[in-house]
Amino acid sequence: MNGAFGMAEKLTITNNIRKLRFFADEMTQLALAEKAGISRQTVISLESGKYTPSLELAFRIANAFAVPIGDVFECKDGP
């Protein structure tokens, strides 16, 4: 980052949703969507990395798996 008010480099956020679904008795995308209060299409977009969730949604997904948010999402500097 270039100072406190400089342009920050874009962060790469990855997720372990597919793996967590597998270890949660092969939870379906629909079951996760229902537990998190989102659409199945949102789950598909998240798993494929096409969509980065809001902080609230990230916590809702973590809560659906009953794990810390860091077990679901990881953040890396740069592209």
Per-residue pLDDT of 15-43, as tens digits, reads 999 999 999 999 999 999 999 999 999 99
**Tokens at 32, concatenated:** 């996760």
Q: Which residue has the higher pLDDT, 78 or 46?
A: 46
57 with 13: CB under 8 angstroms?
no
* Average pLDDT across the chain, whole number: 90
pLDDT of residue 63: 97
Structural domains in the chain, sorted by start: 12-66 (1.10.260.40)
Q: Which residues contact residue 34 at a Cβ distance below 8 angstroms, ignoring those fewer than 6 apart?
A: none
Q: What was the pLDDT predicted at 77?
A: 72
pLDDT band at 70 (very low <50, low <70, confident <90, very high): very high
